[in-house]
Amino acid sequence: MAGPAVVLLSGGLDSATTLAIAREEGFAPYALSFRYGQRHALEVEAARAVAQQLGAARHVVAEIDLRAFGGSALTSDLPVPTGRREAEIGRGIPATYVPARNTIFLSYALGWAEVLGTDHIYLGVNALDYSGYPDCRPEYIRAYEVMARLATRAGTEGGRSLRIHTPLIGLTKAEIVRRGLALGVDFSLTRTCYQPDSQGRACGVCDACLLRLKGFAEAGAVDPVEYRGS
Amino acid sequence: MAGPAVVLLSGGLDSATTLAIAREEGFAPYALSFRYGQRHALEVEAARAVAQQLGAARHVVAEIDLRAFGGSALTSDLPVPTGRREAEIGRGIPATYVPARNTIFLSYALGWAEVLGTDHIYLGVNALDYSGYPDCRPEYIRAYEVMARLATRAGTEGGRSLRIHTPLIGLTKAEIVRRGLALGVDFSLTRTCYQPDSQGRACGVCDACLLRLKGFAEAGAVDPVEYRGS
Instruction: For residue range A84-115, list pLDDT tens digits in order.
Output: 665 555 555 454 556 788 999 999 999 899 88
pLDDT bucket at A222, cuts 50 / 70 / 90: very high
Q: Do B150 and A157 touch (CB under 8 A)?
A: no
pLDDT band at A131 (very low <50, low <70, confident <90, very high): low
Contacts of B153 in chain A (CB under 8 A): 93, 97, 99, 134
Whether the pLDDT of residue A218 is over 60: the answer is: yes
Nearest CA in chain B to A116: B69
Q: Which of B207, B181, B180, B176 is nearest to B193 (CA)?
A: B207
**B37 interface with A at CB cutoff 8 Å:** no
Instruction: Name the residue with higher pLDDT: B137 or A167.
Output: A167
Whether the CB-CB separation of B46 and B34 falls below 8 Å is answered with no
Distance from CA of B8 to the nearest CA of A (A): 14
Mean pLDDT of all residues in B129-136: 73
Would the pLDDT of B172 be above 60? yes
User: Which residues of chain B are within 8 Å of residue A123 when distances are taken between CB atoms?
Assistant: none
| pLDDT band at residue B101 using 50, 70 and 90 as cut-offs | confident
A155-174 pLDDT per residue, tens: 555 556 899 999 999 999 99
**Distance set, CA B166 to CA B20, B145, B208 (Å):** 13, 12, 20
Q: Can you give the pLDDT at residue A77?
A: 44
> What are the pLDDT digits (tens) for A189-216?
999 888 888 888 999 998 889 999 999 9
A131 touches chain B (CB under 8 A): no
The reported pLDDT for the residue numbered B76 is 44
Q: Count CA atoms within 13 Å of residue B213 on its CB side.
A: 16
> Which positions ≥6 away from A70 have C-beta within 8 Å?
A76, B115
Reported residue count of chain B is 230
- The residue ranking higher by pLDDT, B121 or A150, is B121
Three-state secondary structure call for residue B220: coil
On whether the pTM is more than 0.90, the answer is no
φ and ψ of B195, to 5 deg: -145, 65
CB-closest option in A70, A143, A151 to B134: A151
Which residues does chain B have within 8 Å of residue A71's beta carbon, measured at their own beta carbons? 111, 114-115
Is the pLDDT at B155 greater than 70, yes or no?
no
Domain ranges of chain B: 4-218
Q: Computed over its alpha carbons, how large is the radius of gyration of chain B?
A: 17
Mean residue pLDDT of chain B comes to 84
- According to the model, what pLDDT value does residue B37 have? 64
Q: Tell me how far CA of residue B3 lies from CA of A18, A216, B27, B29, B134, in angstroms.
A: 42, 48, 5, 9, 31
Q: What angle do CA A142, A144, A148 make, to 5 degrees?
A: 120
Q: Could you tell me which CATH number the domain at A4-218 has? A: 3.40.50.620
pLDDT tens for B56-70 read: 999 998 877 666 776
Residues A15-61: tens digit of each pLDDT: 999 999 999 999 999 999 988 765 557 888 999 999 999 999 999 98
Under the banding of pLDDT at 50, 70 and 90, the label for residue B75 is: very low
Look at A230 and B164; give whichever has higher pLDDT: B164
A8 at B interface, C-beta within 8 A: no
What ipTM goes with this model? Answer: 0.84
Q: What is the mean pLDDT of residues B205-211?
A: 89
